[in-house]
Structure 1
Amino acid sequence: MTMTTYSISDLARELDVTPRAIRFYEEQGMLAPERRGQERIYSAKDKVTLKLILRGKRIGFSLAECKELIDLYDPSSGNRKQLETFMDKIAARRAQLEQQLLDIEQMQLELDTAEERCLAALAETTA
């Protein structure tokens, strides 16, 4: 039985990420490819890990949060701890985004007020 393996360029092309990014995640201890001389050989597990990292980054998780979730991977438990932690992080991220949205809306009101004052002051200088 042969295992599917990937070179760094295969993985980069398939997941639309640079080889440099993959090396960075490796330096962070998040990927551990086999080595054949200078060549890195990535497994299907490495590919899944990289997909999880990229998904986590897309939804705003830090690398530390991504690493924590990856480290909780435990198929023997049905990944219950990983999934529960992921749900907690999703809820926290959602709350953070909702607060940012409120902050943005408040800032837009402040800009509207400043703009109205500027327009009024400009109208007075031309009158």
Structure 2
Amino acid sequence: MQEHFTISELAHEFDITLRTLRFYEEQGLIEPERKGRNRLFSKRDRARIKLILRGRRIGLSLTDIREIIALYDQREEASQAAKLLDLLLERRRQLEAQRQDLDAILAEIDTLEAHCRSISTKPD
């Protein structure tokens, strides 16, 4: 595997924009080397991007992701796992509440659809 990656290579690999990668750099989540105006990303940066995107996909905030990365950098594997577990449990709770809300809304839509159908099929 190669040692360094360009911003274009990583943007293509992860199907994200260059702006997204620059934003993560501005936020201190990744730290590419600078060679003049070019950024060279390490394997470590690549792994962080993967972690960031996974965290975002499940709905974690950048603050949460930053905390997990900081624990990883400190080699606090047990602390990192405990923090991640807490975040995952909270996210699961949020998603389950949203699912209940969606189920209630869909049931209401079913009721309204049935009512509208019964009215629209009545002879005048």
Q: Same fold (TM over 0.5)?
A: yes
In 2, Cα distance between equivalents of 1:80 and 1:100? 30
In 1, Cα distance between equivalents of 2:110 and 2:13? 46
In 1, Cα distance between equivalents of 2:68 and 2:74? 13
Letter of the structure 2 residue corresponding to residue 109 of structure 1:
A
Identity of aligned residues (%): 42
The alignment partner of 1:73 has SS state of: helix
In 2, Cα distance between equivalents of 1:116 and 1:47? 52
Moved >2 Å (runs of 4+): 13-18, 74-77, 119-124
Match of 1:28 in 2: 27
Letter of the structure 1 residue corresponding to residue 59 of structure 2:
G
| Structure 1 residues 114 and 33, CA gap change in structure 2 (3 angstroms) | same
Cα RMSD (Å): 1.8
Superposition TM-score, scaled by structure 1 size: 0.85
1:75 offset after TM fit, Å?
Answer: 5.5
1:116 offset after TM fit, Å?
Answer: 2.1
| Structure 1 residues 71 and 6, CA gap change in structure 2 (3 angstroms) | same
Letter of the structure 2 residue corresponding to residue 112 of structure 1:
D
Match of 1:69 in 2: 68
Aligned length: 123
Alignment map for 1:16-95 (pairs within 5 Å): 16-74=15-73, 76-77=75-76, 79-95=77-93
Unaligned runs of 5+ in 2: none
Unaligned runs of 5+ in 1: none
The alignment partner of 1:64 has SS state of: helix
Q: Say which of 90, 101, 106 aligns to 1:108.
A: 106
The alignment partner of 1:72 has SS state of: helix
In 2, Cα distance between equivalents of 1:17 and 1:119? 45
